Structure 1
Amino acid sequence: MTMGSRVYLARLAALPVFDPNGDRVGRVRDAVLRLRTTNRPPQVVGLVAEMALRRRIFLPIGRVTSMDAEAVVLSTGMLNLRRFEKRPNELLVLEEVLDRRVMVEPEDRQGPAQAGTVVDLGMELNRNNEWLITRVAVRQHTGRLARRGHTYQVEYDRIRGLVGPTDTQGTSNLVALLEQMRPADMANALQDLADARRNEVAAALSDRTLADVLEELPEHDQVEILIQLDRERAADVLERMDPDDAADLLAELPKAEQAVLLDLMEPEEAAPVRQLMSYTPGTAGSVMTSEPVILTPDTTVAEALARIREPELSPVVAAQVFVARAPSATPSGKYLGMVHFQRLLREPPSSILGGLIETDIDPLTPETNLTEITRRMATYDMVAMPVVDNAYRLVGAVTVDDVLDHSLPRDWRDRDAQDAQEEADAQRQAQPEPRAGS
């Protein structure tokens, strides 16, 4: 980086961070501004990076040796791995500044100010090696309905309202950045927002995206976001969730609210959710997915491979196909067996599944408990196991991620709970060990 070079902070979001040896440290999740006591522009003091296990740490801006469209590179030295906590005089760019509604004074300071929305912040390095906000990219508001206008850049000192109440903040640009992330990363980013801001941003996501994100959030956050939506929208989002995840979420709501939302869902979408909710908690029936890949025995290998290549299928669901007599929707006809995708890759495309099925592993029943499911999946190195009813019809499949979700502590996705556990572990490690014989 050279003196006077300008960097736009929103463009750094999600960029990988590398150490001098080329080893990846994490990804950029935000930038930290330090507010001044005078009218001087805010100083950028560092970046927030997300490491493995969703830990967010602070990277001082002085440790950054280069920033471009591809990556952020750090200098040598130890990293402080303490979880990032914002200080009272600091602002986070993506969380608190992006999408703020501001007023832009005319260049000659004469006449009325124009309304706009912050799209990005540009920082530059001064002679004291400080990164200061010098430019603000703004989208103009036009007309009585504040429709989107053109985007332009202005000097920082022409902006009014950049620092102020959060009720002057929109969502469009932050949503655009979040939608570039994986659902799990989006969920993690939402947990870092204030409750009101989180609910506002979540409501601005598309139904499909919000459904994916809800599946990655702690249960209390799922409920909080869902109840903030109007019931028609909530039902639409539930329809786009996997039936087992929708059933788990509905189970956290009062019975009366469950009934209302199920009635608002399309009947064909509500039916598998109702069925899953009828099973005893902690059994295969309560944790299984009711939408595994089910094909008939006369299906060819080529057709099966085309089916599991469909992008909406998760890796664990696409890892095998289950073979059953028609119909192919749950509950299916008689269950015959399964074929793993590795076997499909080794066979001629014209071969039919009926000649390839594996039948040596007994399927689960809806009443099989989690302990037995875990034991059997570990014994046979399975990523998914079929679940059949008394008539030997396939009613679903338990996948390894289903087992993990229900075996881990209920709050394993909750960042606050993780922080509390880490603090408790650190305190225990700080306690002196008892002397021998004491």
Structure 2
Amino acid sequence: MAGPGSRVYISHLSGVAVFDPNGDQVGRVRDVVVSLRIGGRPPRVLGLVVEVIGRRRIFLPMTRVTSLESGQVLTTGVINMRRFEQRPSETLVLAELLDLTVTRVKTRDEVTVLDVAMVQTRVREWEIAKVFVQVGKVSRLRRSRGETLLLDWSAVTGFSLAEEGQGAANLLATFEQLRPADLANVMHHLSAKRRAEVAAALDDDRLADVLEELPEDDQVEIIGKLKEERAADILEAMDPDDAADLLNELPEEDAERLLRLMEPEDAAEMRRLLSYEEDTAGGLMTTEPIVLEPDATVAEALARVRVRDNKPALAAQVYVCRAPSETPTGKYLGTVHFQRLLREPPFVLVGSLVDDDLDPLPPDTPLPLITSYLATYNLVAAPVVDEGDHLLGAVTVDDVLDHLLPDDWREASLHLLDEHTDEHAARLTAEESEVSGGR
């Protein structure tokens, strides 16, 4: 454990691994819980928010932390696995204090919080002692400009206020390495106000990726708080099938207004997807599978498969069609699976490798038949073709699962995890529960 007076910057704890005494990883730090105090007294650090298996968040009291050194957190091994619920008297440092605009007591000028540092007192408690600030308000595009200062906690005021337009530059910098699904989980646990600030600060592509991972209620809330022009841009950046699903959740007049703001080609694609019933191949498909003409080579096909933005299910096969190769394509000829591509010389033409034994799916194929098709033939994706043999898109197994599971499956999965871990939590001794503060 760092000794009394040792300073730990809280942004540096984000994502740090948490280990038990046996060296087994428990989870990763996602935030720090503090209790603000009156009279300019430094806040007391209550504990850490730790993300464990299944993206479940639990509370780890500082009394159970034995070390904060060497880029890791060590615990006593006694952890209450009940889900963390923030109390009204508690503040989350990363989620609620970073990017906050506060006031220097001495000069009365505005400063923006970049980071805060905690220290251990002589009685082995932790408290926030220092605030690292930048003079003026911080723009995410100009974070390096402006004078920066390290101030005592008592030298600034305004932390207890719910500031409007707080921004999110430094919160995002703290979580910039997170995958979209993990950042979506962070945003889901923020207040509605803070969630809107984070969404406003994300660039369009990043926000589009995160929206695809959020529950529908969060998606609708976020898209509804964006300016309409930007909301249309975000929808264009999303996968077409996910964007169509989101438009389906909006009031009809709002969806139509956004469609009119989109690029004509993108809007036409959205309208085509929206014309199909939701639980059919047409309603589930993505309109951006990997399509090649028959005279393309295996080398070209593998180059397309290797593109990082391709989802694994879509990269598992290429679809061979006559020109045009944008959906709806020319005549659909067949599919070439990734494993077949790996077995052939680079110069071989994909037109000679097509698998046309399986009939493609018509766009009106209902969900149960799609599921049976994928399961019967051990596929992760299937082509969707109209009566004129034009490839319209592809249905992937992840989208099928999305629609097979209940609408609230993301929240339901957390409740299932609760039931699984409550048995473990129930085994805590009375002493463990007392130390955990009854959380």
**TM-score, normalization by structure 2:** 0.89
Superimposed CA distance per residue, residues 61-107 of structure 1 (whole angstroms, 9 cap, x where no aligned partner): 233333357433333x332110001123211001111111111234x
Structure 1 Cα separation of the partners of residues 290 and 186 of structure 2: 32
Q: CA 1:330 to 1:358, structure 2 compared with 1: closer, same or farther past 3 Å?
A: same
Q: Does 1:130 align with 2:125?
A: yes
User: Does the CA-based 8 Å contact 1:324-1:336 persist in structure 2?
Assistant: yes
1:52 matched to 2:49: no
1:30-429 to 2 correspondences below 5 Å: 30-36=31-37, 39-68=40-69, 70-75=71-76, 77-106=77-106, 112-141=107-136, 148-167=145-164, 169-414=166-411, 418-419=414-415, 422=418
Secondary structure in 2 matching 1:403: helix
Contact residue 335 and residue 388 of structure 1 kept, 8 A = yes
Query: Matches of 2:80 and 2:395 in 1, distance apart?
Result: 41
C-alpha separation in 2, matches of 1:5 and 1:319: 52
Secondary structure, counterpart of 2:59 in structure 1:
strand
Aligned to 1:20: 21
Distance of 2:280 and 2:229 partners within structure 1: 31
Distance 1:216 1:136 in 2: 34
In structure 2, do the counterparts of structure 1 residues 377 and 21 end up closer, same or farther at CA, with 3 Å as the change threshold?
A: farther
Cα distance in structure 2, aligned partners of 1:119 and 1:425? 36
Change (3 A) 1:339 1:142: closer
CA distance in structure 1 between the aligned counterparts of 2:69 and 2:366, rounded to whole angstroms: 52
1:34-67, Cα deviation, whole Å (9 max, x unpaired): 2335643112121111122221111122333333
SS of residue in 1 equivalent to 2:410: coil
RMSD over aligned Cα atoms: 2.5
> Aligned in 2, Cα 1:259/1:135: closer, same or farther, shift over 3 Å?
same
> Is the CA contact (8 Å cut-off) linking 2:321 and 2:330 kept in structure 1?
yes
Instruction: Flag the 1:325–1:68 CA change in 2: closer, same or farther, 3 A.
Output: farther
Change (3 A) 1:95 1:376: same
Segments of 5+ residues of structure 1 without an aligned counterpart are: 107-111, 431-438
Amino acid at match of 1:153: L
Q: Secondary structure at the match of 1:217?
A: coil
Deviation per residue, 1:382-418 (Å, 9 max, x gap): 1111111111211110001110111111112348x94
1:10 counterpart SS class: helix
Aligned residues of 2:165 and 2:197 also touching (Cα < 8 A): no
Q: By how many angstroms is 1:130 displaced?
A: 1.0
Aligned partners of 2:112 and 2:137 also within 8 Å: no
Q: How many angstroms apart in 2 are the aligned matches of 1:284 and 1:336?
A: 19
Q: Which has the higher contact order (CA 8 A, sep 6+)?
A: 2
Deviation at 1:229, TM superposition (A): 1.4
Q: CA deviation at 1:419?
A: 4.9
Unpaired stretches in structure 2, ≥5 consecutive residues: 427-439
Q: CA deviation at 1:168?
A: 6.8
- Does 1:11 pair with 2:27? no
| d(CA) in 2 for partners of 1:199, 1:252 | 19
The answer to whether the Cα contact below 8 Å between 1:35 and 1:43 also exists between their aligned partners in 2 is yes
2:95 counterpart letter in structure 1: E
Task: Give the % identical residues.
Answer: 55
Structure 1 residues 71 and 382, CA gap change in structure 2 (3 angstroms): farther
CA–CA separation in structure 1 for the residues paired with 2:70 and 2:164: 32
Number of matched pairs = 419
Helix, strand or coil at the partner of 1:248: helix
Q: Answer whether contact 1:9 1:123 (CA < 8 A) is retained.
A: yes
